């Protein structure tokens, strides 16, 4: 809320999904600070202020809800859990096998604490090709940024849907939060929502 997020549903999800469950015990004391933290393999759990702002932007699209969500970059599964809390139909892709497995374990633990656990499907694969079997998606959110939006994401975005992703712009290393809306007639509308800093989007799996 201090970061300007107002959507009560998003704030409610942030209050329900406990972030300390997604980081190593040594870092649990920092879990409620608004900072990114290491989760292994050179990756990070995103800043809660940015995660909540992006989910708020997603929910502020044409339909006013998340619908069927595609997340690229599961990491430790924190954002996937928030999305699941808000939409119940989430597909999340991770390209690093060890992180995919870590997220699976984290969400299994969470499931024991939360009744009526939603349908969050974790996929091990290259998120640059999206996940065609369950497309189209009403909302797409990326936790890693590249120089352009992969065509597969655009193809898998439903009419009336919204995509929110960091995109490198100009100087290497500078990223801008990009919003892409697919209007009901199929056309695309771009807008921008400020500077962000995410890990790089990489192709292939490891």
Q: Which residues are catalytic?
A: 46
Q: Counting contacts by CB under 6 A, is residue 130 touching ligand SAH?
A: no
Judged by CB under 6 A, the chain residues 99 through 118 that form the site for ligand SAH are 99
Minimum distance from residue 61 beta carbon to ligand SAH (Å) = 19
Instruction: Provide the CA 173 distance to its chain's centre, in angstroms.
Output: 20
**Cβ atoms 135, 159 nearer than 8 A:** no
End-to-end C-alpha distance for the chain, whole angstroms: 37
Identified binder of ligand SAH from the candidate list 10, 61, 91, 126, rule CB under 6 A: 126
Binding of ligand SAH by 153 (CB under 6 A): no
Q: Write down the least CB distance from residue 8 to ligand SAH, Å.
A: 21
Query: Which range of residues in 57-65, 93-101, 159-167, 180-188 is near ligand SAH by CB under 6 A?
Result: 93-101
128 touching ligand SAH, by CB under 6 A: yes
Strands (E), the chain: 37-40, 43-45, 69-72, 89-94, 119-124, 137-142, 144-145, 157-168, 175-182, 188-196, 199-200
Give whole-number Cα distances, 70 to 21, 29, 67, 101, 133, in Å: 22, 30, 10, 18, 12
Nearest approach, Cβ of 50 to ligand SAH (angstroms)? Answer: 10
> Closest approach of Cβ 141 to ligand SAH, in Å?
8
Helix (H) or strand (E) holding 16, with range, is: helix 8-16
- DSSP state, 146? B
Binding ligand SAH (rule: CB under 6 A), the pick from 67, 127, 161, 166 is: 127
Judged by CB under 6 A, which stretch of 91-99, 107-115, 132-140, 169-177 contacts ligand SAH?
Answer: 91-99
- Considering only residues 46 to 65 of the shown chain, the ones binding ligand SAH according to CB under 6 A are 46
Q: How far is CA 80 from CA 75, 148, 151, in A?
A: 9, 23, 22
Binding site for ligand SAH (CB under 6 A): 43-46, 72-76, 78-79, 93-96, 99, 126-128, 143-144, 199, 201-203
């Amino acid at each position: 809320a201090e970061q300007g997020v107002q959507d009560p549903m998003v704030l409610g999800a942030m209050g329900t999904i406990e972030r300390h469950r997604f980081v190593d015990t040594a870092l649990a004391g920092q879990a409620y600070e608004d900072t990114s933290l290491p989760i292994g393999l050179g990756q990070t759990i995103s800043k809660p202020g940015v995660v909540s702002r992006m989910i708020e932007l997603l929910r502020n699209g044409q339909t006013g809800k998340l619908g069927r969500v595609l997340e690229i970059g599961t990491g430790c599964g924190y954002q996937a859990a928030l999305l699941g809390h808000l939409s119940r139909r989430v597909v999340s892709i991770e390209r690093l096998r060890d992180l995919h497995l870590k997220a699976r374990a984290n969400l299994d633990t969470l499931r024991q604490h939360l009744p009526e656990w939603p349908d969050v499907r974790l996929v091990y694969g290259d998120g640059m090709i999206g996940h065609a079997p369950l497309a189209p998606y009403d909302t797409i959110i990326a936790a890693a940024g590249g120089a352009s939006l992969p065509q597969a994401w655009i193809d898998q975005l439903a009419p009336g849907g919204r995509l929110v992703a960091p995109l490198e712009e100009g100087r290497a290393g500078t990223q801008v939060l990009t919003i892409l809306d697919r209007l009901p007639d199929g056309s695309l509308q771009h807008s921008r929502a400020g500077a962000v800093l995410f890990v790089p989007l990489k192709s292939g799996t490891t």
